[in-house]
């Protein structure tokens, strides 16, 4: 049985304070839980390969993605993602086997979006991913009436990301 990972509470943060009014939040998703025998432990290297796979093969994680093209820019990926008529261009940066950072590169003037997934391992057996978001646009501002729904959508998508990585790990696709 593949168990959905546990999610930790949302905590406010500020990755880039120059964006006043930006929607900022972060949360932790627990990957390993030694107190729950139903959860098969995952190695940090498997988790890292899963986060990289999410960037390289986004359609495996985002079923409503219609098309993705990827170019390399040094160690970064430049991606063009098509969701129906919506086109999103982003840069994906890999940070020393510890974090994957996504930045929208062609946002409308006055808009921005950044997201990171950082592996945290506070103990030998403890393994978490910290998801951090910072977004500003007319539709994404701190205090907006839709903020709760936006945060919940991201939170559920992040839990699903770890669930999908767990499936890939259990199938052996993330082994050395």
How far is CA 88 from each of CA 81, 112, 143, rounded to the nearest angstrom? 5, 12, 25
Query: What number of other Cβ atoms are within 10 A of residue 138's Cβ?
Result: 9
Reported confidence tier of residue 22, pLDDT bands at 50, 70, 90? confident
Would residue 24 count as lying in a domain?
yes
Would residue 160 count as lying in a domain?
yes
Would residue 35 count as lying in a domain?
yes
Would residue 68 count as lying in a domain?
no
* pLDDT tens-digit readout, 126-165: 899 999 998 877 666 566 667 788 889 999 999 999 999 9
User: Which pLDDT belongs to residue 125?
Assistant: 82
* pLDDT tens-digit readout, 1-19: 344 454 444 333 444 444 5
Nearest to 151, CA basis, from 4, 12, 6, 5: 12
Would residue 155 count as lying in a domain?
yes
* pLDDT tens-digit readout, 32-90: 988 888 888 999 999 999 999 999 999 999 989 999 999 999 999 999 999 999 999 99
Number of structural domains in the chain: 1
Would residue 83 count as lying in a domain?
no
| Structural domain span for residue 120 | 6-43+95-170
pLDDT, average across residues 86-106: 93
Would residue 86 count as lying in a domain?
no
pLDDT, average across residues 101-111: 79
User: Which pLDDT belongs to residue 142?
Assistant: 62
User: Which pLDDT belongs to residue 1?
Assistant: 39
User: Which pLDDT belongs to residue 165?
Assistant: 96
Q: What is the CATH number of the domain that holds 35?
A: 3.30.530
SS (H, E, C) 92-131: EEEECCCEEEEEECCCCCCCEEEEEEEEECCCCCCCEEEE
Q: Exposure of 50 by Cβ count < 10 A (0-12 exposed, 13-18 middle, 19+ buried)? A: buried
Q: What is the reported pTM?
A: 0.83
Would residue 176 count as lying in a domain?
no
């Amino acid at each position: 049985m593949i168990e959905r990972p546990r999610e930790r509470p949302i905590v406010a943060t500020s990755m880039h304070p120059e964006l006043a009014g930006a929607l900022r939040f972060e949360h932790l998703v627990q990957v390993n839980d030694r107190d729950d025998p139903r959860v098969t432990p995952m190695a940090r290297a498997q988790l890292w390969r899963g986060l990289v796979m999410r960037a390289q093969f986004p359609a495996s994680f985002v079923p409503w993605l219609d098309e993705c093209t990827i170019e390399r820019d040094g160690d970064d990926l430049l991606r063009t993602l098509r969701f129906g008529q919506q086109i999103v261009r982003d840069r994906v940066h890999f940070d020393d086997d510890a974090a994957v950072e996504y930045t929208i590169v062609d946002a409308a003037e006055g808009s921005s979006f950044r997201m990171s997934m950082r592996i945290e391992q506070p103990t030998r057996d403890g393994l978490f991913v910290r998801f951090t978001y910072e977004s500003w646009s007319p539709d994404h501002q701190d205090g907006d009436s839709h903020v709760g729904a936006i945060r919940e959508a991201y939170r559920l998508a992040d839990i699903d990301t770890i669930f999908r990585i767990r499936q890939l790990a259990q199938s052996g696709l993330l082994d050395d």
